[in-house]
């Protein structure tokens, strides 16, 4: 039988702890890399979308519920204005097409 206080056991436990710490560090590093990549992709998408729609950049950073919901009325109004403008442009285009068809 081996004695728990033998030199082999003492050197095994520190090695196991060291190995576990390295594995944990690798997993944390991989998680951080994926999180950063995801964050950067969301920021790029937000900049791309806001550049085309006239909306302000979307904040992707974590916020508390009151902070998150405080911007909803403003963004909702901007979206409503955007779709109203889109509907007006569509209606004007449709009227132009009808007028052009009646002339020919």
Share of the chain above pLDDT 70, in %: 73
Contact 62, 39 (CB under 8 A): no
Element (H, E) at 98: helix 72-103
Q: How confident is the model at residue 92 (pLDDT cuts 50, 70, 90)?
A: very high
Terminal C-alpha separation, the chain: 104
> What's the rounded Cα separation, in Å, for the pair 74 and 37?
29
| Calpha distance 90→93 (Å, rounded) | 5
Poorest-pLDDT segment among 29-38, 43-52, 74-83: 43-52
Q: Which residue from 51, 47, 48 is spatially nearest to 59, judged by alpha carbons?
A: 47
What's the whole-number mean pLDDT along residues 79-90? 90
């Amino acid at each position: 039988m081996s004695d728990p206080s033998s030199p082999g056991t003492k050197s095994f436990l520190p090695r196991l702890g060291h190995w576990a710490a390295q594995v944990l560090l690798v997993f944390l590093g991989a998680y951080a890399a994926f999180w950063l990549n995801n964050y950067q992709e969301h920021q790029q998408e937000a900049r791309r979308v806001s550049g085309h729609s006239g909306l302000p950049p979307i904040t992707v950073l974590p916020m508390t519920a009151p902070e998150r919901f405080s911007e909803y009325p403003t963004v909702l109004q901007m979206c409503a204005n955007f779709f109203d403008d889109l509907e007006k442009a569509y209606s004007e285009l449709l009227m132009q097409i009808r007028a052009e068809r009646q002339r020919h």
